[in-house]
Amino acid sequence: MFRKVEFMEKLLNDHMPYAGEDRIAEIRRLAESLGNLRVLHVNSTSYGGGVAELLYTIVPLMRDAGLDAEWHVIDGVPDEFFDVTKKIHNSLQGAQTPLGDREWCLYEDVNMKLAKAFPRGPWDVVIIHDPQPLAVLAFLDSVPESERPVVDRWFWRCHIDLSTPLDDTWHRLWPYVNEYDGAIVTSRAYARDEIAIPVAEITPSTDPTSPKNLPIPEDEARQMMVSFGIATDRPLIVQVSRFDPWKDPFGVVESYRILKKKWPDLQLAMVGSIAADDPEGIGILAKLKEDAEEDGDIHVLSNEDGVGAREVAGFQQCADVVIQKSTREGFGLTITEAMWKGRPVVAGNATGCKLQISDGEDGFIVKTTEQCAARIDEILEDPDLGARLGEKARETVRRRFLSTQHVMNYLNLFAGRL
């Protein structure tokens, strides 16, 4: 029921040009003081979405720092489990969709089975990401002691915007959270009163050395856009996201339609992937494709059209404006990635967007589709404004959201300093 994820080696030294020599030395010192710490990360998918993206960098960098870090995903669980956990995810973000008894039964039944099959370790630290495997720890009590994993410290890492959860779902889950030794949230704003264990704040990060972030030569990037049917001499706005209601894909199309009246040449690319643990995306993608059929300048593209990491980078790099019109967002890596590329980003008024963008300084925060269209219009009218916002955006990411900072924060947590 668990599968160990294989990943490419990553080296801290490759991050030196971005993070500086001192930061890398600091990480090595701290890791050394922790000894050969055995760390296990567990989440629900190795493909699609921000958590997988993060772990492909954080885990290998922890290893290079000297920790014995592994990443396992839950595996072989019924498809309906992910329908249920997506509903949990949505209602934790405020959707008015309580789960029924049968759904809770399935959630708990799978977590009980996961508890029985949990990798035995021994582990010094286990980090369980998000709600899918959250209840595992509570169910370990029902596993015979001789078959239980040996774990020193358990952390629950929540990537979700918990600022307005549906009470029904949250009250069912928080007792599971309090089984842990500590919780990790992206922002203190998500640390709800019911959480009685120590809470650490760690923001996610982007990897400047990943194919997602490496600059693509201009010619090649242009060629790439042409291969997806995009005209490179006309303005392009882009949203890169899972096809998820909280990313407000239809709001993006609406903003584009408002703009199209003034900018008849405007093109919109909606670039997304279907994550293995996100069954909801398929329906949204189909609906967006229907919209796109009526307008040749709306391009809806997914991994099925050959959009991989490098293509995502190409779209972010070539966009005149990057949109992330989320209504809820724990932390939008797509925003960080676009900011790192020096692009102006117009993002929704969600806590996770506001954690990254200071409105008017290094991007824009908008509340409505009309405002979104108006801010995009301002940037299209004044490319210098876009360049200024983009330049500051890159600096914000350099200061606060690089992977090395993220690893450092984890090490401080393991050392009991967070």
Q: Which candidate, 108, 155, 169, places its Cα nearest to that of 135? A: 108
**Closest approach of ligand UDP to the CB of residue 34, in Å:** 28
273 binds ligand UDP (CB under 6 A): yes
Looking at the Cβ atoms of 151 and 271, the one nearer to ligand UDP is 271
* CB closest to ligand UDP, residue no: 50
208 binds ligand UDP (CB under 6 A): no
- Residue 48 CA to residue 279 CA, distance in Å, equals 12
334 binds ligand UDP (CB under 6 A): yes
CB atoms within 10 A of CB 218: 11
Among 151, 333, 353, 355, binds ligand UDP (CB under 6 A): 333
**Size, binding site for ligand UDP by CB under 6 A:** 19
Q: Which residues sit opposite 126 in a β-bridge?
A: 40, 154
Cβ(240)–Cβ(268) under 8 Å?
Answer: no
Looking at the Cβ atoms of 49 and 235, the one nearer to ligand UDP is 49
212 binds ligand UDP (CB under 6 A): yes
Residues 295-314 that bind ligand UDP (CB under 6 A): 303, 307, 309, 312
Tokens for 360?
């008017």
**Closest approach of ligand UDP to the CB of residue 417, in Å:** 26
Tokens for 282?
């398929």
Looking at the Cβ atoms of 67 and 307, the one nearer to ligand UDP is 307
Looking at the Cβ atoms of 124 and 278, the one nearer to ligand UDP is 278
**Closest approach of ligand UDP to the CB of residue 105, in Å:** 27
Q: Could you report how far apart the first and last alpha carbons of the chain are, in Å?
A: 32
Residue 323 phi, psi dihedral angles, 5° rounding: -110, 145
Among 12, 271, 355, 393, binds ligand UDP (CB under 6 A): 271
**Closest approach of ligand UDP to the CB of residue 206, in Å:** 7
* Dihedral angle of Cα 211, 244, 88, 81, to the nearest 10 degrees: -70
**Per-residue binding letters, 228-247, with ligand UDP (x by CB under 6 A):** ------------xxx-----
**Closest approach of ligand UDP to the CB of residue 295, in Å:** 21
Among 50, 165, 249, 342, binds ligand UDP (CB under 6 A): 50
**Closest approach of ligand UDP to the CB of residue 161, in Å:** 10
**Closest approach of ligand UDP to the CB of residue 166, in Å:** 18
337 binds ligand UDP (CB under 6 A): yes
**Closest approach of ligand UDP to the CB of residue 20, in Å:** 24
Applying CB under 6 A, the span of 66-74, 104-112, 189-197, 329-337 interacting with ligand UDP comes to 329-337
373 binds ligand UDP (CB under 6 A): no
List contacts with ligand UDP (CB under 6 A). Answer: 49-50, 53, 212, 240-242, 271-273, 303, 307, 309, 312, 331-334, 337
